[in-house]
Structure 1
Amino acid sequence: MTQFLSAIILAGGKSSRMGQDKALLEIDGVPLLKRTYDAAKQCADAIYVVTSWRDRYQSLLPDVTWIDESEPRSPMIAFTEALEQIETDWALLLACDLPRLKGETLRELMSQLGESSIVVARSEEGWEPLCGFYRRDCLTSLQNYLASGKRSFQDWLDSENVQELQLGDRQILFNCNTPDDFEQI
């Protein structure tokens, strides 16, 4: 079977604004990281988790490929390291803290993949890189951007030919960075 899509879930942040590991915060008894994994599993052929804390999460997700960070760094570096390892044409990049994300929604969004190598949602604040699709062929551009010392996903996406992902429900982009965010769920 030909594999088409890998999901890359970033779970390497320090959760400093939350005050505790947000990947392990539970909604209806299910940790946020597991919820994101469950949604991604409905459309991805392989799932990778990038983290500095594999030992915290391994029992939650026994059948993923782990990419270990020696220390938390920028999401862009973590994504680049993961993109170097996948074997599929496309990667779905996800933050670990998207409580309203659903697998059916991700499957619907996949229908928008076309010629562009990057298909990402956009909000009033800018690009939403941690809920987007990236063709593996954008790796060289990412590596060159990082080699120049830059780390801004927004600036990199502004310099690329990005297709805007059309969302029927913008609530899937809601993420939990603070206790107040978590209370809104």
Structure 2
Amino acid sequence: MTSIAKIYGLVLSGGKSIRMGKDKGLIAYHGVPQREYLYRLLAEVCDNTFMSIRKEQTNEIGATFQTIVDEDVFKGPFNGILSAHKAYPEVAWLVLACDMPLIDVESLRNLIASRKSNAYATCYALKENPLPEPLCAIWEPYGLKMATSYMEAGRNGSCPRKFLINNDTHLVYPENENVLMNANSELEYQEALAKLA
């Protein structure tokens, strides 16, 4: 079960951004759309990088970005993650949600350096609330194979965090906990801008 798989990067940018009221992948926290910013961060540290998108987003993405279109087999973030796994089943995936405006390349390098390849995944977590952050994580091929079976069983919901809590997950604690901030609403968007100022 030990993995020596290459690490591919995946920007999850296929969500509907309902709470935010605008596409979170297009917010320019760093002068470019967030999905492009994260893609470039992942490209610095991964063997290959892709953007996970919905079919209707295909024409929005420039030719310089590789994409994987969600297959719409599963609900929630697993839709993008497992579509990527199906496309490249032999690799580990460093997954980033596009609602993480404060993540930086140093934190990604630290996560990779802390990788435990015989776990299902290596995830960031907060010390005071040590739950795995499945959308800032390295998912190993075997873990994704098991996640596919978990989702196909259809009895367990569609929460990646719940899956990781109940399986072999290696937790890593970031030096700067702000990097795990999620911005899913207008208020959180304003908080993120304040932290970046």
| TM-score, reference length from structure 2 | 0.83
CA distance in 2, matches of 1:165, 1:71: 30
Pick one of 40, 44, 55 that aligns with 2:59.
Answer: 55
Q: Deviations over 1:3-48 (max 9, x none)?
A: 7210111111111111111111112421111121121111011112
Instruction: Provide structure 1 residue ranges, at least 5 long, that are not aligned to the other structure.
Output: none
RMSD: 2.3
CA distance in 2, matches of 1:48, 1:157: 23
Q: Relative to 1, partners in 2 of residues 1:24 and 1:130: Cα closer, same or farther, differing over 3 Å?
A: same
- 1:139 Cα deviation from its structure 2 partner: 2.4
Hey, what does 2:33 align to over in structure 1? 31
**1:135 and 2:137 correspond:** no
Equivalenced residues, count: 182
- The one-letter code sitting in structure 2 at the alignment partner of 1:129 is P
Hey, what does 1:183 align to over in structure 2? 190
Larger helix percent:
2
- The one-letter code sitting in structure 2 at the alignment partner of 1:159 is N
- The one-letter code sitting in structure 1 at the alignment partner of 2:12 is L
Instruction: Provide structure 2 residue ranges, at least 5 long, that are not aligned to the other structure.
Output: none
Matches within 5 A, 1:1-185: 4-52=6-54, 53-56=57-60, 58-59=61-62, 62-69=64-71, 73-86=75-88, 89-114=91-116, 115-123=118-126, 124=129, 126-149=131-154, 150=156, 151-184=158-191, 185=193
Q: Deviations over 1:59-96 (max 9, x none)?
A: 2x623133244599410132111112226532101101
- 1:116 Cα deviation from its structure 2 partner: 2.0
% identical equivalent positions: 23
Q: Relative to 1, partners in 2 of residues 1:160 and 1:71: Cα closer, same or farther, differing over 3 Å?
A: closer
Q: Deviations over 1:118-170 (max 9, x none)?
A: 11122327321000011112122111110111312122112211110221111
Runs of 4+ off more than 4 Å: 69-72
